[in-house]
Structure 1
Amino acid sequence: MSGTGEEAQLRYAWRALSVVSMASILTALGSSSLNVALPQVVRHFDASATAANWILLSFMLTNTGLMVAFGRLADMFGRRTMYLLGLATYTGASLLLGFSPGVWFLIGLRAVQAAGGAMLLTNSAALLADAFPKRHLGRGMGIYIASFSVAQLVGPTLGGFLTDRLGWQWVFWYNVPIGLVCLAWGAVALRRTGSRAHERGIDAAGNLLVLISLGSLLFGLSQVGESGWTDPVVFAGLAVCAVLAPLFLWVERRSPHPVVDVALFRDPPFALGLLTSFLNAVARMAVVLLIALFYQAVRGESPVPAGLKVLPLPVVAMIASACSGMLHAKLTPRTIALLGTSAGTAGLLVLLLNISEDIGYTPIACGLVLIGAGSGMFMPANTTALLDGVSSQRIGIVNAMRLMVQNTGVVVSTALAMSLVTSPLPAGLRQYVFAGTIADVSAQGVAQLVTGYRLALLVMTAISALSVIASLGRHRVADVAAGGIRPSEEPVGKAP
């Protein structure tokens, strides 16, 4: 590519990055601010523990289940069209959410909002991979991931402030003006892309199986908080997911337009990269919610100081993501991803070893700093490694697969963490955890809740350790492949 041609491509790439980053901040703000405002919303609607869980899970389930379908549609009809439609849907749903007359109406609108978010997320990294020259992609991806950290930085404080001063409705309504600005700028800045009408087709059966199996898993996990792990409803939800998983794989092998291209898993570095992404998300994505809830439920603090307590994680994540371009100049993306997931594991271990009813803030802050540094390094590096070398015609569906796996991890992380945290409590006290008022109701309940926190952090730390092992395995397999040696032919004595 000539110097002039690359300069023109870079100018467009930075414009596309500005659109994508603004929309990423919009959607991530919605999630991070609601995490802190959740107790206020629960109190307003007098919601049960199950309904409180589904205020979060309905968004995550819908977002994850529709992601690959929208990736396919974007490849067929154009990413610009899908992106702008996603912005309009997300903004409109945000406006209506503030007028919700009941908690289940709110949960339904959260699903509509999630559909808009899925259209955005499934196209964001694909738009950047198309726009940036290959040698600049790591830098662009690092800034894109840093935009999520900006939202996580502002979101908890913003959510606490809006809830305290203006009411829970403004946790949704503030999205509207931001969404309208993003929509206008996206319509101007993004290039029109051609459709691929000859490849039209949607795997309806596969998408339906994703929704049913993942929904069953989440429903089962969400009931643990009220009914315990031995309840028949919990068992049934987990069993349906276990039965449908192999059926899903069978359907995908025979589908002309699969939700998940099983053939991609024949590439060991790609398969291990997705596994690492899933485990990393399960291990760390519930941390902000857990810590914000800890300071409200255990310490009895209001949303604003609780939101301020989690700031070290997004601050450090933002810095690490923004600086990842410099690391990419010296290290491979796979190496950076390994360092990131190792740092996150260390942070979870710090929280596990120190969490208690009277814990000081310093150990919490140290754990959050390590998790933030790990997240900031891992996400852009892992995304770059997975999308590197993928053709433009396939990048939409491959990126959607990446996001579906990652978001499945987010969903499982939230459902699993909240179920484990409340599991030591009697059923009658669990709703007070989500309302943030258990400290006013039962001193014994607070002690049991801290036990639940230890259990949740133990499981999350163990899962994070598995992500380190998977990342090491990918690094080793990729090195062997680069040397033209199959693992079974590796010379004796070669260093791992």
Structure 2
Amino acid sequence: MSAPEQVTPPAQHAPAPAFDPRRARLVLALSSFGAFVMFLDTTIVNTAFETISRSFGTGAGHLSWVLNAYSLVFAAMLVPAGRLADRYGRKRVFIIGLTGFAAMSALCGAAPDVNVLIGARALQAAFAALVTPTSLALVLPEFPPERRPVAIGTWGMMGAAAAALGPTTGALLTQYASWRWVFLVNVPVCVAVVALGARLLRETRDPQAGGLPDPLGALLVAVVPAALSLAVIEGPSWGWADPRVIAGFAVAAVLLPVFVLRTRAAARPVVDLALFRVRQFTLVNVASLVFSAAFYGLLLANIIFLQTVWHYSVLRAALATAPGPLVVALVARAGSRLAMAHGAKTVLTAGALLWFAGAELLALRVGAHPHWATHLLPASLLTGLGIGLTLPVQSAAAVQSLPPGRFAIGSAINSSFRQLGAVLGISLFVAVLGTPGAGGATAAFHRVWWTFAVLGLVSVLALYVPHRPVGAVARTGPPEAADPPAGT
């Protein structure tokens, strides 16, 4: 729910523009609002999920690709998008990304069937990946180094705000207009940001930026989790012995080592495997993957539970789940500050325990009859606290052990792991829930909640494998050469 933080800093040798506080604030507001729209789309669709399913007469398994297609393409495109921006200009890529995102949003809103919607969502994610890293990269040159942590924190808060407003905004549009407006609302917003950005933003690029990352590697980043997701999602309905399910698992198993070999051999690999020699970077990314699976799966599960078991309207379901995201928005920056003071491992452990307590409360107390204030609300507040103490701290902890020149690529990889976790979480939700019969829905959701409670707790265990403390910072260059890591 916290915004992914991709920092694509300007070339170190580029002359810094004179600091103009008014202009810097305007650029920060504009770029942050552009990123806000991208992050809003990661949660705004959730409340419309059940309505879209009824509109197209399709099941949760098929429709889950509306969410998974976005996450898969977004994860695969983040690193190449950053390289594109470095080479061809951050402003240019930012404008192209917003324009394409608006066009694909319009196509999503006009989709005649679910397959067109899935395809448009995949293209929408590709353009969103162009906007996300460039939006912050355009901000950093406007601020002197000592003011950048505040700018980064403000930009990061927009993701939390978008996540908090997404379900409610989606519910209002779905209930009082149409689910199609969940996508169409992006069009006028993007047009306004493009018009203002064309006049206000300064072009920056890295003259030393090399060519684009290996396209085959980028394709494999998407295909491997897509094949695994297909097998996990369709296994319950097709049967685990179905040749298509077996083929999905087989393709994932075969192509994963192919991806590793290709990455080692490529001149410009899509993922720098050398970074994974840094133990902290590897373990925090594993934790990010697992926790994101729990987070995104639970987020969708709660919305669907309220609509199908408690028979809440779309709007009521969104309002019922809003306190959790609002808590995230309130504590996200405080969590990062606590991590700086007490160490990231301590804060991440507290976050995982709070998450487990909240999800466990859902599984133990929430039943077939609505008791929002006494059963659902306490659980939502606990999981919200857990998320606020986890996602932004993971983003910072992942890059803190890297040399300053690797902050940008490390942050992009961590965001990719989070998006792949989203795919895994949604796939697990569909698989664990299954197709319960009459009277079995509540028990099925209890299984879902227990699954994600355990996953959230397991995510922090990786950090207790003997290694350097998570809060440690390893730098190979002078501290003054580094931009502050995202999320701190």
Shorter-chain TM band: 0.7 to 0.9
1:407-460 C-alpha deviation (Å, 9 max, x unpaired):
10111111111221125x3xxxxxxxxxxxxxxxxxxx2432222212222221
CA contact 2:338–2:347 (8 Å) conserved in 1: yes
- Other-structure match for 2:32: 21
Q: Which 10-residue stretch deviates more, 70-79 or 206-215?
A: 70-79
- Other-structure match for 2:450: 458
Q: How many residues align?
A: 460
- Other-structure match for 1:377: 389
Q: How does 1:408-487 map to 2 (within 5 A)?
A: 408-422=420-434, 425=436, 445-473=437-465, 476-478=468-470
124 and 229 in structure 1: CA distance in 2 versus 1, 3 angstrom threshold: farther
Query: What is the distance in 2 between the residues matched to 1:139 and 1:347?
Result: 31
1:72-131 C-alpha deviation (Å, 9 max, x unpaired):
222332333222221111111112222222221121111111111111234445556666
Report the 3-state secondary structure (helix = DSSP H, G, I; strand = E; otherwise coil) of the residue aligned with 1:330: helix
Out of 92, 102, 109, which is 2:120 matched to? 109
Query: What is the distance in 1 between the residues matched to 2:140 and 2:467?
Result: 22
| Post-superposition offset of 1:339 | 3.1
Query: What is the distance in 2 between the residues matched to 1:465 and 1:342?
Result: 6
- Other-structure match for 2:179: 168
Report the 3-state secondary structure (helix = DSSP H, G, I; strand = E; otherwise coil) of the residue aligned with 2:44: helix
Query: What is the distance in 2 between the residues matched to 1:395 and 1:479?
Result: 15
| Post-superposition offset of 1:330 | 3.2
- Residue 398 (structure 2) pairs with residue 386 (structure 1): yes
306 and 235 in structure 1: CA distance in 2 versus 1, 3 angstrom threshold: same
| Post-superposition offset of 1:68 | 2.2
- Residue 265 (structure 2) pairs with residue 254 (structure 1): yes
CA contact 2:279–2:467 (8 Å) conserved in 1: no
Unaligned ranges ≥5, structure 1 = 426-444, 483-496
Out of 69, 72, 88, which is 2:80 matched to? 69
**Counterpart code for 1:94:** S
344 and 122 in structure 1: CA distance in 2 versus 1, 3 angstrom threshold: farther
- Residue 164 (structure 2) pairs with residue 153 (structure 1): yes
Query: What is the distance in 2 between the residues matched to 1:384 and 1:204?
Result: 28
CA contact 2:138–2:201 (8 Å) conserved in 1: no
TM-score, scaled relative to structure 2: 0.85
Query: What is the distance in 1 between the residues matched to 2:207 and 2:335?
Result: 34
Higher helix proportion, which one? 1
CA contact 2:401–2:473 (8 Å) conserved in 1: no
Query: What is the distance in 2 between the residues matched to 1:109 and 1:158?
Result: 21
CA contact 1:67–1:404 (8 Å) conserved in 2: yes
Query: What is the distance in 2 between the residues matched to 1:316 and 1:280?
Result: 18
| Post-superposition offset of 1:36 | 0.7
1:113-163 C-alpha deviation (Å, 9 max, x unpaired):
111111123444555666666665554444333222222222222222211
**Counterpart code for 1:68:** V
Q: Which 10-residue stretch deviates more, 117-126 or 457-466?
A: 117-126
253 and 325 in structure 1: CA distance in 2 versus 1, 3 angstrom threshold: closer
Query: What is the distance in 2 between the residues matched to 1:446 and 1:310?
Result: 25
Query: What is the distance in 2 between the residues matched to 1:447 and 1:250?
Result: 49
| Post-superposition offset of 1:313 | 1.2
Query: What is the distance in 1 between the residues matched to 2:467 and 2:207?
Result: 35
- Residue 419 (structure 2) pairs with residue 407 (structure 1): yes
Identity of counterpart residues, as a percentage? Answer: 29
Out of 177, 180, 187, which is 2:198 matched to? 187
Out of 261, 276, 279, which is 1:268 matched to? 279
**Counterpart code for 2:132:** L
261 and 33 in structure 1: CA distance in 2 versus 1, 3 angstrom threshold: same
352 and 474 in structure 1: CA distance in 2 versus 1, 3 angstrom threshold: farther
Q: How does 1:25-424 map to 2 (within 5 A)?
A: 25-124=36-135, 137-196=148-207, 199-324=210-335, 326-327=337-338, 330-358=341-369, 360-361=371-372, 362-388=374-400, 394-422=406-434
Query: What is the distance in 2 between the residues matched to 1:366 and 1:6?
Result: 49
CA contact 1:23–1:120 (8 Å) conserved in 2: yes
CA contact 1:75–1:396 (8 Å) conserved in 2: no
Q: Which 10-residue stretch deviates more, 447-456 or 169-178?
A: 447-456
CA contact 2:348–2:460 (8 Å) conserved in 1: no
Query: What is the distance in 2 between the residues matched to 1:387 and 1:192?
Result: 26
Query: What is the distance in 1 between the residues matched to 2:18 and 2:371?
Result: 51
| Post-superposition offset of 1:188 | 3.9
191 and 349 in structure 1: CA distance in 2 versus 1, 3 angstrom threshold: farther
CA contact 2:138–2:204 (8 Å) conserved in 1: no
**Counterpart code for 1:457:** W
479 and 404 in structure 1: CA distance in 2 versus 1, 3 angstrom threshold: closer
Query: What is the distance in 2 between the residues matched to 1:349 and 1:128?
Result: 41
9 and 418 in structure 1: CA distance in 2 versus 1, 3 angstrom threshold: farther
1:174-226 C-alpha deviation (Å, 9 max, x unpaired):
11111122223333443311244662132122112122212211221221353
475 and 101 in structure 1: CA distance in 2 versus 1, 3 angstrom threshold: same
Query: What is the distance in 1 between the residues matched to 2:431 and 2:71?
Result: 16
200 and 374 in structure 1: CA distance in 2 versus 1, 3 angstrom threshold: same
